[in-house]
Structure 1
Amino acid sequence: MSQTVPSSARVVIVGGGVIGCSVAYHLTKLGIRDVILLERNSLTCGTTWHAAGLVPTLRATYRMSMLARYSADLYERLRDETQQDTGFVRNGSLSVATHQERFTELKRGASMAKLCGFPCEVVDSQRASELWPLMNADDIVGGIYLPLDGIVNPVDVTQALAKGARMGGARIYENTKVLEIKAKHGTATGVVTQLGDIEAEYIVNCAGMWARHLGRKTGVNIPLHAAEHYYVVTEAMPDLATQLPTLRDLDNCNYFKTDAGKLLIGTFEPNAKPWGHEGIPEHFSFDELPPDLDHLEPYLEAAIRRVPALAKTGLQVIFNGPESFTPDDRYHLGEAPELRNYFVAAGFNSVGIQSAGGAGKVLAEWISKGHAPMDLWDVDIRRNLPFQGNATYLYDRTTEGLGLLYAMHWPFRQFETARNVRKSILHDRLAAANACFGEVAGWERANFFAPEGEKAEYRYSWGKQNWFDWSAAEHMAVREKVGLFDQSSFTKLLVQGRDAVTLLNRICSNNIDVSPGRIVYTQWLNERGGIEADLTVTRLTQEAFLVVSGAPTQTRDLDWLQRNTPEEARVVVTDMTSSMAVLGVMGPASRELLQSLTDEDLTNEGFPFGTSREIELGYARVRASRITYVGELGWELYIPTEFAPDVFDRIMAAGKPFDLKLCGYHALNSLRIEKGYRHYGHDVTEEDTPLEAGLSFASDFDKPDGFIGCEALLRQKEEGVTKRMVLFRFLDPKATSFHEEPIYRNGSIVGRTTSGMFGHYVGANIAMGYVENPAGITKQWIESGEYEIEIAMHRYKVEARLRAFYDPDMQRVKS
Structure 2
Amino acid sequence: MSTIPSKARVVIIGGGISGCSVAYHLAKLGWTDIVLLERKQLTCGTTWHAAGLIGQLRASQNMTRLAKYSADLYVKLEAETGIATGMRQNGSITVALTEERKEEIYRQASLARAFNVDVREISPEEVKNLYPHLNISDVLGAVHLPLDGQCDPANIAMALAKGARQRGAKIIENVKATAVHDRDGRVTGVSWAQGAEMGTIETDHVVNCGGMWGRDLAARSGVTLPLHACEHFYIVTEAIEGLTRLPVLRVPDECAYYKEDAGKMLLGAFEPKAKPWGMEGIREDFCFDQLPEDFEHFEPILEKAVNRMPMLETAGIHTFFNGPESFTPDDRYYLGEAPGLKGYWVAAGYNSIGIVSSGGAGMALAQWMNDGEPPFDLWEVDIRRAQPFQKNRLYLKDRVSETLGLLYADHFPYRQMATSRGVRRSPLHEHLKARGAVFGEVAGWERANWFAREGQEREYRYSWKRQNWFENQKEEHLAVRNGVGLFDMTSFGKIRIEGRDALAFLQRVCANQMDVVPGKIVYTQMLNERGGIESDLTVTRLSDTAFFAVVPGATLQRDLAWMRKQLKADEFAVITDVTAAESVLVLMGPKVRDVISRVSPNDFSNDAFPFGTAQEIEIGMGLARAHRVSYVGELGWELYVSSDQTAHVFEAIEEAGRETGLKLCGLHTLDSCRIEKAFRHFGHDITDEDHVLEAGLGFAVRTDKGDFIGRDAVLRAREEGLKRRLVQFRLKDPEPLLFHNEAVVRDGKIVSIITSGNYGHHLGGAIGMGYVPCEGESEEQVLASSYEIEIAGVRHQAVASLKPMYDPRAERTRF
Q: Percent identity?
A: 53
Displacement after TM superposition at 1:776 (Å): 3.0
Matching residue of 2:454: 452
Matching residue of 1:739: 740
Matching residue of 2:242: 239
> Pairwise mapping of residues 701-780 of structure 1 onto structure 2 (< 5 A)?
701-703=703-705, 705-773=706-774, 775-780=775-780
Matching residue of 1:278: 280
Q: Deviations over 1:650-693 (max 9, x none)?
A: 10111011100000000000000000000100010000121010
In the alignment, structure 1 residue 504 sits paired with structure 2 residue 506: yes
Displacement after TM superposition at 1:19 (Å): 0.6
Describe the SS at the equivalent of 1:388: helix
Matching residue of 1:31: 30
* Counterpart residue type for residue 107 of structure 1: Y
Displacement after TM superposition at 1:575 (Å): 0.9
Q: Deviations over 1:432-479 (max 9, x none)?
A: 011100000000000000110101110001011110011110000000
CA distance in 1, matches of 2:563, 2:776: 33
Matching residue of 2:468: 466
Displacement after TM superposition at 1:781 (Å): 2.1
Query: TM-score when scaled to structure 1?
Result: 0.99
CA distance in 2, matches of 1:413, 1:63: 22
- After the TM superposition, list the runs of 4 or more consecutive aligned residues in structure 1 that deviate by more than 2 angstroms: 775-778
Matching residue of 1:120: 119
Matching residue of 1:621: 623
Displacement after TM superposition at 1:566 (Å): 1.3
Matching residue of 1:482: 484
Q: 590-599 or 413-422, which moves further after superposition?
A: 590-599
CA distance in 1, matches of 2:7, 2:232: 38
Describe the SS at the equivalent of 1:421: coil
Displacement after TM superposition at 1:568 (Å): 2.0
Which structure 2 segments of 5+ residues have no match?
none
* Counterpart residue type for residue 771 of structure 1: V
Displacement after TM superposition at 1:777 (Å): 4.2
Displacement after TM superposition at 1:261 (Å): 0.7
Q: Deviations over 1:308-330 (max 9, x none)?
A: 11111111100000000000000
Matching residue of 1:810: 810
> Pairwise mapping of residues 82-93 of structure 1 onto structure 2 (< 5 A)?
82-93=81-92
Matching residue of 1:427: 429
Displacement after TM superposition at 1:196 (Å): 2.0
Matching residue of 1:218: 221
CA distance in 1, matches of 2:261, 2:304: 20
Displacement after TM superposition at 1:123 (Å): 1.1
Displacement after TM superposition at 1:569 (Å): 1.6
Matching residue of 1:401: 403
Change (3 A) 1:730 1:323: same
> Pairwise mapping of residues 343-742 of structure 1 onto structure 2 (< 5 A)?
343-703=345-705, 705-742=706-743
Matching residue of 1:797: 797
Please say if residues 744 and 750 of structure 1, whose CA atoms lie closer than 8 Å, have aligned partners that are also in contact: yes
CA distance in 2, matches of 1:231, 1:239: 22
CA distance in 2, matches of 1:584, 1:811: 19
CA distance in 1, matches of 2:592, 2:698: 30
CA distance in 1, matches of 2:566, 2:355: 35
Please say if residues 382 and 555 of structure 1, whose CA atoms lie closer than 8 Å, have aligned partners that are also in contact: yes
CA distance in 2, matches of 1:9, 1:772: 44
Please say if residues 436 and 457 of structure 1, whose CA atoms lie closer than 8 Å, have aligned partners that are also in contact: yes
CA distance in 1, matches of 2:466, 2:9: 54
* Counterpart residue type for residue 90 of structure 1: Q
Q: Deviations over 1:557-615 (max 9, x none)?
A: 11111111112222122211001010000000011210111111100111110010000
CA distance in 2, matches of 1:81, 1:747: 41
Which structure 1 segments of 5+ residues have no match?
none
Displacement after TM superposition at 1:753 (Å): 0.9
Displacement after TM superposition at 1:496 (Å): 1.1
In the alignment, structure 1 residue 134 sits paired with structure 2 residue 143: no
Displacement after TM superposition at 1:499 (Å): 1.0
* Counterpart residue type for residue 728 of structure 1: F
Displacement after TM superposition at 1:778 (Å): 2.5
* Counterpart residue type for residue 225 of structure 1: H
Matching residue of 1:78: 77
* Counterpart residue type for residue 228 of structure 1: E
Matching residue of 1:300: 302
Please say if residues 488 and 581 of structure 1, whose CA atoms lie closer than 8 Å, have aligned partners that are also in contact: yes
Displacement after TM superposition at 1:12 (Å): 1.1
> Pairwise mapping of residues 163-178 of structure 1 onto structure 2 (< 5 A)?
163-178=162-177
* Counterpart residue type for residue 354 of structure 1: V
Aligned-CA RMSD value: 0.8
Please say if residues 723 and 776 of structure 1, whose CA atoms lie closer than 8 Å, have aligned partners that are also in contact: no
Matching residue of 1:228: 231
Describe the SS at the equivalent of 2:694: helix
Describe the SS at the equivalent of 1:127: helix
In the alignment, structure 1 residue 16 sits paired with structure 2 residue 15: yes
In the alignment, structure 1 residue 144 sits paired with structure 2 residue 136: no
Describe the SS at the equivalent of 2:8: strand
* Counterpart residue type for residue 796 of structure 1: H
Please say if residues 724 and 777 of structure 1, whose CA atoms lie closer than 8 Å, have aligned partners that are also in contact: no
Q: Deviations over 1:179-206 (max 9, x none)?
A: 1101111101221112421111211110
Q: Deviations over 1:90-132 (max 9, x none)?
A: 0100100001110010001100111221111101111111111
Describe the SS at the equivalent of 1:702: helix
In the alignment, structure 1 residue 336 sits paired with structure 2 residue 325: no
Q: Deviations over 1:16-56 (max 9, x none)?
A: 10011011111111111321111111110000000011111
Aligned length in residues: 811
